[in-house]
A and B are shown apart, each in its own frame.
Chain A
Amino acid sequence: MSLTELEFQGETTGSGPVQVIQGRSPWVLAWRRLRQDKVAVASLIVILLLALLAILAPVIAAWVGHPPNMPYTNQGLSSTGLPVAPSSTFFFGTDDLGRDLFIRVLYGAQVSLLVGFVSTLIGTVLGVAVGMMAGYFGGWIDTVLARSTDAVLAFPYVVLALALAVVFGPSLLEVIVVISFFSWAAIARVVRGQTLSIKEKEYIEAARSIGASPMRIMVLDILPNLIAPVLVLATLAIPTAIVFEATLSFLGVGVQPPTASWGNLLSQAQAFYQTSWWYLIFPTAFLLLTTLAFNLLGDGVRDALDPRTERLFAAQRKRGRARSKGAKPAATVEGAS
Chain B
Amino acid sequence: MTSPQAATPAAAPPGEDDVLVRVENLVKYFPIRGPGLLARTVGHVQAVDGVSLELRRGQTLGLVGETGSGKTTLARCIAGLIPITSGRVIFDGHDIAGLSRRAMRPYRRDIQMIFQDPYGSLNPRRRVGSIIGDPFAVHHTASGAARKRAIQELMERVGLNPEHYNRFPAEFSGGQRQRIGLARALALRPKLIIADEPVSALDVSIQAQILNLLADLQNDFGLTYLFIAHDLEVVRHVSNQVTVMYLGRICEQGPKDPVYEKPRHPYTAALLSAAPAADPDAAAARQRIILTGDIPSPINPPSGCRFHPRCPKAQDLCHEQDPPLETKPGDAPEHQTACHFPVQPGEDLTTTSTIAAADASAGTGGEGSSLTGGAA
Contact A309 B124 (CB under 8 A): yes
Contact A21 B164 (CB under 8 A): yes
Give residues 174-197 of A contacting B (CB, 8 Å). Answer: none
Contact A216 B138 (CB under 8 A): yes
Q: Which of B37, B76, B163, B164 contacts A12 (CB 8 A)?
A: B163
Interface stretch (choices B20-28, B90-98, B148-156, B364-372): B148-156
Contact B123 A4 (CB under 8 A): no
Give residues 1-32 of A contacting B (CB, 8 Å). Answer: 1, 4-5, 7-8, 12, 18-26
Query: Given the interface contacts A22-B166, A202-B116, does A221 sit within 8 Å of B123 by beta carbon?
Result: yes
Tell me if A336 counts as interface (CB < 8 A to partner B): no
Tell me if A209 counts as interface (CB < 8 A to partner B): yes
A104 to chain B: closest CB distance in Å?
Answer: 45
Contact A309 B149 (CB under 8 A): no
Q: Which of B111, B127, B134 contacts A212 (CB 8 A)?
A: B134
Contact A225 B121 (CB under 8 A): no
Tell me if B202 counts as interface (CB < 8 A to partner A): no
Q: Hey, what's the 0/1 contact readout for A76-100 against B, CB within 8 Å counting as 1?
A: 0000000000000000000000000
Could you tell me the distance between the alpha carbons of A206 and B177 in the complex, rounded to whole angstroms? 14
Contact A206 B127 (CB under 8 A): no
A-B CB pair tally, cutoff 8 Å: 106
Contact A206 B115 (CB under 8 A): yes
Tell me if B117 counts as interface (CB < 8 A to partner A): yes
Q: Hey, what's the 0/1 contact readout for B106-128 against A, CB within 8 Å counting as 1?
A: 00110111011100111111111
Contact B123 A225 (CB under 8 A): yes
Tell me if B355 counts as interface (CB < 8 A to partner A): no
Interface stretch (choices B47-55, B167-175, B237-245, B259-267): B167-175
Tell me if B139 counts as interface (CB < 8 A to partner A): yes
Could you tell me the distance between the alpha carbons of A18 and B121 in the complex, rounded to whole angstroms? 30
User: Chain B: which residue is nearest A25 at the CB level?
Assistant: B168
Tell me if A224 counts as interface (CB < 8 A to partner B): yes
Tell me if B83 counts as interface (CB < 8 A to partner A): no
Q: Which residues of A contact B170 (CB under 8 A)?
A: 309
Could you tell me the distance between the alpha carbons of A205 and B75 in the complex, rounded to whole angstroms? 12
The dominant DSSP class at the A interface is helix
A298 to chain B: closest CB distance in Å?
Answer: 21
B86 to chain A: closest CB distance in Å?
Answer: 22
B152 to chain A: closest CB distance in Å?
Answer: 7
State the interface size on chain B (CB cutoff 8 A).
Answer: 47
Contact B126 A224 (CB under 8 A): yes
Tell me if A210 counts as interface (CB < 8 A to partner B): yes
Tell me if B184 counts as interface (CB < 8 A to partner A): yes
Tell me if A72 counts as interface (CB < 8 A to partner B): no
Q: Which residues of A contact B112 (CB under 8 A)?
A: 209-210
Contact A224 B123 (CB under 8 A): yes
Q: Which residues of B contact A209 (CB under 8 A)?
A: 79, 81, 108, 111-113
B161 to chain A: closest CB distance in Å?
Answer: 8
Could you tell me the distance between the alpha carbons of A24 and B167 in the complex, rounded to whole angstroms? 7
Q: Which residues of A contact B157 (CB under 8 A)?
A: 1, 4
Contact B138 A19 (CB under 8 A): no
Contact B134 A19 (CB under 8 A): no
Query: Given the interface contacts A206-B115, A210-B135, A220-B126, does A201 sit within 8 Å of B120 by beta carbon?
Result: yes
Could you tell me the distance between the alpha carbons of A309 and B108 in the complex, rounded to whole angstroms? 31
User: Chain A: which residue is nearest B168 at the CB level?
Assistant: A23
Q: Which of B37, B111, B134, B165 contacts A143 (CB 8 A)?
A: B37
Tell me if A211 counts as interface (CB < 8 A to partner B): yes
Could you tell me the distance between the alpha carbons of A213 and B100 in the complex, rounded to whole angstroms? 12
Tell me if B162 counts as interface (CB < 8 A to partner A): yes
B313 to chain A: closest CB distance in Å?
Answer: 39
User: Chain B: which residue is nearest A209 at the CB level?
Assistant: B113
Q: Which residues of A contact B104 (CB under 8 A)?
A: 211
Contact B163 A21 (CB under 8 A): yes
Query: Given the interface contacts A202-B115, A209-B79, A211-B139, does A23 sit within 8 Å of B108 by beta carbon?
Result: no
Contact B167 A23 (CB under 8 A): yes
Could you tell me the distance between the alpha carbons of A204 and B281 in the complex, rounded to whole angstroms? 46
Q: List 23 A-B contacts (CB under 8 A).
A: A1-B153, A4-B153, A4-B156, A4-B157, A5-B149, A5-B153, A5-B156, A7-B156, A21-B161, A21-B163, A26-B125, A201-B120, A202-B116, A203-B120, A205-B76, A209-B79, A209-B112, A210-B108, A210-B112, A210-B139, A210-B188, A225-B125, A227-B125
> Known contacts A206-B121, A309-B124; can you find 18 more A-B pairs with CB under 8 A?
A7-B156, A21-B167, A22-B166, A23-B168, A25-B168, A202-B121, A203-B120, A205-B76, A205-B115, A206-B181, A209-B79, A211-B135, A211-B139, A212-B134, A212-B138, A220-B126, A224-B125, A225-B123
